[in-house]
Structure 1
Amino acid sequence: MSVTATPGLEALQPTHHGSWEPRRALALDVARRRTAFVRWLRLVFMAGAIGILILLTFQLVMGSLGPTEGDPQTASSEGRMTNPRFTGRDESLTPYAITADVAIRREGSAPGVTELERPRLDYDFLAGDSSRVLAETGFYDLPNRTLDLHSSVNLSTPEGYSFASNHARIHLREERVTGEEPVQGTGPMGTIRADRYEIRDGGDHIVFEGNVRARLIQDRTAPVPAETAPREENQ
């Protein structure tokens, strides 16, 4: 049995491609928009790169046109530290501690050398404590374990000797002090003046050299030997 189409309804029948033609048009529109967006991004990136290149060129040109007279100003690498503390031990494993008001690392200074303002030393080799200022300025050489003191140097030993000078080098490894400037010293035996001095063996030996002048003080507390009375001879 065959079915005959009703005449006049063929125009209402959908064609073979009618289901995907609108989708194809929509996809083409999206592709066109994506392509336009990518082109816009490329233009933005190119404009940014050109702007950076122009800025770098401008800075180079302005730098070359700057003033050339005078010394060039370089960034300082000087470092400052307040209330520093350095610790260590000598050859006898005796601990010591160095403190100061300010520590300065100068640009171009030797490695491990620190400049100190109003240094102090807590060390059994020398009398005093960490609150006692040894000098106005100093230099701590960490690799060599030396403390150089300058200007208004004041040192004391546990044996009761005090020294005033403008220079002292404390050899922390050896428990030794050397001074290349004139020194004034006072102690239990009197006063002394010399051009150079050295404190050795942890203060057991003190050596003075150059125009040495000493004034000894007699110990008046020593007992005076009793005088022997004359014997009477029997007649």
Structure 2
Amino acid sequence: MTSTTADLSPLQPTAHAVWEPRRATTLAAARKRTAFVRALRYGLVGLAGLIVAGLVVQILMRAFGGETLEPVTVSEDARMINPRFTGRDESGAPYIVTADAAVRRRGGEAHITELESPQLDYDLIAADQEAEGVLARSGLFDSEARTLDLMANVQFTTRSGYEFLAEHARVFLSEDRVLGESAVEGDGPMGTIRADGYEILDGGDRVVFTGNVRTHIRNEAGSGGQP
């Protein structure tokens, strides 16, 4: 019996036939990735060009009279609650200036502070008892000149016992003196008085009235007359 062996080599796939499809797939993916990177690069370059063009247009518009935005200035004033300023006059007497609130000015006027409902603890003048220490509605304290300007509904009492009502009073804390440049009404032990201006001197022991002075003097019996 003769055996016959069939040649099956034509039916076996070659190594080239097995790897050819995989290599083709890898090359195709690489080509797609390269095309994507190239497109992304072109897009970034184009975006950068648009940004630069926009900046150039804005610069040209401003250079040739285009609309210019004005800078906004923000207030630098510092607001304080319940401020307190202390010092001494030339004779060594202490004083304390306080207020409900204050705003300290900036720049060349940093030594000036705007006060709301100012109060003064000082031997020269005192607030009316009903005012609970408040001398006026507003005021200005100058730390360099050591002056306290009182404005609007100014009410105070001197050491001599006179009660005054005015629209303005400047207290010279270093000179133990008060100057008023507005109409004033006063009431004290000797009677009442009205004038266009006044000045308190000698620590409150002497008061000088100026301009249209009108007085009403009380006598011992309690009646009075106008000189």
Band the TM-score falls in, shorter-chain normalisation = 0.5 to 0.7
Query: Structure 1 length normalisation: TM-score?
Result: 0.63
In structure 2, what is the equivalent of residue 122 of structure 1? 121
Report the counterpart of residue 17 of structure 1 in structure 2.
Answer: none
Matches within 5 A, 1:72-87: 72-87=71-86
Unmatched 5+ stretches in structure 1: 1-50, 222-235
Give the C-alpha shift of residue 108 in structure 1: 4.9
State the distance in 1 between where 2:88 and 2:208 align.
25
Cα deviation, residue 125, structure 1: 1.2
Quote how far apart the aligned CAs of 1:105 are: 1.8
Partners of 1:120 and 1:131 within 8 A in 2: no
Equivalence for 2:100: 101
Q: 2 CA distance for matches of 1:80 and 1:67? A: 35
Moved over 2 A (4+): 66-69, 106-109, 127-131
Aligned residue type for 1:158: R
Separation in 2 of the partners of 1:119 and 1:182? 20
Structure 2 gaps of 5+ residues are 1-47, 223-227
Alpha-carbon contact 1:97-1:123 (below 8 Å) kept: yes
Deviations 1:17-58, CA, capped at 9 Å, x for gaps: xxxxxxxxxxxxxxxxxxxxxxxxxxxxxxxxxx9xx89x97
Q: Which amino acid aligns with 2:155?
A: N
Equivalent residue for 2:196?
195
In structure 1, what is the Cα distance between the partners aligned to 2:116 and 2:136? Answer: 8
**Conservation of the 8 A alpha-carbon contact between 2:105 and 2:111:** no
Task: Say what the alpha-carbon RMSD is for the aligned residues.
Answer: 3.1
Q: What corresponds to 1:206 in structure 2?
A: 207
Please state which structure has a larger fraction of its residues in helix.
2
Structure 1 residue 217: Cα displacement: 0.7
- The one-letter code matched in structure 2 to 1:104 is V
TM-superposed CA distance for 1:169, in Å, is 0.1
Q: What residue in structure 2 maps to residue 68 of structure 1?
A: 68
Whether the 8 Å contact between 1:121 and 1:132 is mirrored in structure 2 is yes
Which position in structure 2 is the counterpart of 1:48? Answer: none
| Structure-1 separation of matches of 2:221 and 2:157 | 24
